[in-house]
Amino acid sequence: MPENKLKEHAENPEERTKKLKEFNETIINSLNEGIWVEDEKGFCTYANPKEAEMLGYTQEELIGKHWSEVVYPSEYEHMKRESEKRSRGIASSYETLLITRNKEKVPVIISATPLFKEGKYIGLIGVTIDIRKQKELEKKLSAIYNLSKEMALSLNIDQISKIVLNAAEKVLNFSNIDLFLVNEEKNELHLKECRGLKEPEMDTIIPISGKKGITAHVARTGKSLNISDVRKDERYLFGLEGSRSELCVPIKIKDKVIGVLDAESKELNAFSEEDKKLLETLASQTAIAMENARLFRELSSLKEFNESIVNSLNEGIWVEDEKGFCTYANPKIRKMLGYESLVGKHWKEIIVPEKISRMEEETKTRRYGRRSSYETVLLTNSGERIPAIVSAAPLFEEGKFIGTMGVFVDIREQKKIEESLKKSERLYRSLSEFNKKLLENSPVGIMNINKEMKVEYENPEMRRILGLPFGKELDTMGMDIREIPLIKENEISSIFDELRKGKEISKEISSISVSGERIYLSLKGVSLFKGFKFVGAIVIVNDITERKRLEQQREKSRKEAEFYADVLGHDVGNINQIISGHLYLLENAKDEETRKKNVEGIKKAIMRSKRLAENIKALKTIKDRKIEKFDLNKSIERSIENIKRYSDRVIEVKLNIDKKYYVKANDLLDKVFFNIFENAIEYTFHDPVIINVRTEEKDGFCNVHIHDYGIGISKEKREDILKNLETLSKRTGMGFYLINKILDRFNGKFEIKDAKKGTEIVVSIPV
């Protein structure tokens, strides 16, 4: 190789080293992080421009300074401990405070690495990150979250709006900011609160669907906008004189926009990404606070609504604590017992003495979750005794027994009629011989049979009774009593053999009258003996249809009272307990996601309670609603919209309606379809919930077929539901009972049909 080439080759390593050093220094000097190098004793040997700028010194001034001169006094011991780790070869990263030349605190994160040469510790190199902006952001976020607690305690939208804009002014330093709320009915933004010098010409109502308005665009899309120069944006609406920048963020509950926060500035590009995030955080807290306020208003109105339902009931409602003292009594029971107020009274004060022991036994079982229904006698303020049916249900809160709810039904009228019927029966029980005139005019049927069981005499009433199944009198004279159609129909022929043994017989039987109604009869037979020889018998038949109807009505009243007690004591109690739980969790929630989940939980519970109250009210008013020409198609469409709004499930309804239908019904028909759709959703355990709806006209009825693909209803369950439809009970539930009652009012009906998969319910309404 030539000599000059060898020389050039020999000089290249130094040249390359110099260039590499210059290159490294250029990189270090251009970093946004500070670089500090110190020797083994802690004295600075190098500091890059960023480090010097951060501390308020020149690079030269920092050379030779000990690290203790740039550390905030309160952090000295911490820094000393960290520094000692380096000589042991330990690198670490930590947060601390530095002090500038002007004695200002600078929060930083330091990443320090020890330096060794030939195994000997010679110092360290530290990378310093200035976190003042981060700390300022944390401070602002903390202030916003602290304000969210204040907003959560307020139930007034006006007050919340003022708190929000005060926070925007004082915490975020937004001097010109507006809060608009959505008016859903008019699809407009209405100005609720503003800060800053706004012009009189500023729009306070902005159409959401309009082309103009950055606020309208944000309300429509649900997405924030940061406009650096509003003069270049055609959507801008005049608000602040000389405005150049605008930042607008939505106030949202889930995907629903309920308002916007809109800030303006006279500076170009005034709002940063950090400002946007802070304002979005404030908007999120605002949404939660406003939703809470709305829910509390709904809770209050719902409470008033529920109270109006309870206060209008014909049944007495009594609520007591775990010790038996009254905490609530509705107007009906106060009137029944003759008191202006019952609160604070013990149940023993309203029960006659001889019934207290029975009531004590029943009361003890409440603590174990037992419900019961039984007869008792109430004692009024004036000392009057009132026979009643009581249906009692226990109340629990978080698994702890807190009292009892009782529903009382006054049965004085039933008792009077029963007593009258008993007296009538006793009057005729001891008949042996009658004056013929008396027999002919007797209100009970009387028959005399001989020793061969053949009819020798029957009075007119008996002939009428025996002829009822055929719509005419039947000549039974000389006929064996055991062969009479009414006797054979009830399969009681064998009991007449007891008369030969001298035994009295008694039996209740039923038949169908000429008008097609079922009647009930009480049959009694007394043997006639001459010496020890059987010579015949007297048979008395009394029409007890009215008594039976009263008993059935009484049983129906008892079951309805029991059901209302169960609904009011259990379902409403559970809903209120759920609401209380969500409110407690909402108050103590530490993050936005938890708050949102609890707000949703409260909304669902309110909707359940509202639906329950509306169904109870509907049951009470079915007979009073006028039947009219009613649009069935729109009823189905409304019900679909309502169930989709009510449920958070994914629902697909496939309509196959062949024409426009007008049926003989009213707006209660919406509840029929809603309850059927709700049942379909409840028993479909996958999304989407698919429901097919088709119509057909047949024999003067419009038949609406509603088919879902859930788990279906078993044959035994269908039979049980249909068997118990006439009585309000837990076997049918509120839904099917309400459906049956409403359709019965329309002279309609419904049928649960067999389906290969899911359930098909056919609703038939007269056209």
User: What does the domain layout of the chain look like in residue ranges?
Assistant: 20-130, 136-290, 313-410+552-601, 425-543, 625-766
Lowest pLDDT segment from 392-401, 499-508, 611-620, 729-738:
729-738
| pLDDT at residue 471, as a whole number | 41
Residue closest to 152 by CA, chosen among 581, 586, 582, 578: 586
- The domain covering 136-290 belongs, at the CATH homologous superfamily level, to GAF domain (3.30.450.40)
- Which of the two residues, 765 and 265, has the higher pLDDT score? 765
Rounded distance between C-alpha atoms, residue 507 and residue 108, angstroms: 99
pTM for this predicted structure: 0.48
Q: Which CATH number fits domain 425-543: 3.30.420.40, 3.40.50.970, 3.30.450.20, 3.40.50.300?
A: 3.30.450.20
Question: How far apart, in whole angstroms, are the C-alpha atoms of residue 653 and residue 52?
Answer: 70
Rounded distance, CA 297 to CA 312, Å? 23
Spatial CA neighbour of 520 closest among 530, 528, 512, 510: 510
Q: 239: helix, coil or strand?
A: coil
Nearest to 710 by CA among 732, 744, 669, 679: 679
DSSP bridge partners of 541: 445, 523
What pLDDT, in 10s, does the model give residues 318-327? 999 999 999 9
Residue with more model confidence, 752 or 293 = 752
How many angstroms separate the first and last alpha carbons of the chain? Answer: 114
> Which of residues 616 and 764 earns the better pLDDT score?
764
Query: What is the gyration radius of the CA atoms in the chain, in angstroms?
Result: 44
Task: Look at residue 726 in the predicted model and tell me its pLDDT.
Answer: 57
Residue-wise pLDDT for 630-673, tens only, equals 999 999 999 999 999 888 899 999 999 989 999 999 999 999 99
pLDDT at 16 over 70: no
CATH topology of domain 313-410+552-601: Beta-Lactamase (3.30.450)
Q: Domain 20-130 falls in which CATH fold?
A: Beta-Lactamase (3.30.450)
> Chain-wide mean pLDDT for the chain?
83
What token pair was written down for 662? 């007008």
* Cβ proximity of 29 and 49 under 8 Å: yes
For residue 133, what pLDDT is reported? 78
CA separation for the pair 196, 683 (Å, rounded): 55
pLDDT for res 108: 92
CB 654 within 8 A of CB 693: yes
Q: Considering only CA atoms, which of 143, 124, 144 is closest in space to residue 82?
A: 124
Lowest-pLDDT choice from 92-96, 332-336, 400-404, 602-606: 602-606
Q: Given a cut of 80, is residue 756 above it in pLDDT?
A: yes
Cα 211 off chain centre by: 39
Residue 570 has pLDDT above 50, yes or no: yes
- The mean-pLDDT minimum among 33-47, 267-281, 630-644 falls in 267-281
Q: Do domains 20-130 and 425-543 have the same CATH topology?
A: yes
Q: Give the pLDDT of residue 619.
A: 74
Residue 6: predicted pLDDT: 47
At 530 the pLDDT is 87
Check if CATH label 3.30.565.10 holds for domain 625-766.
yes
> Residue 436 has what pLDDT?
58
Listed range (187-196, 299-308, 527-536) with the worst mean pLDDT: 299-308
| Range from 127-136, 254-263, 474-483 that averages highest in pLDDT | 254-263
619: enclosing H helix or E strand: helix 592-621
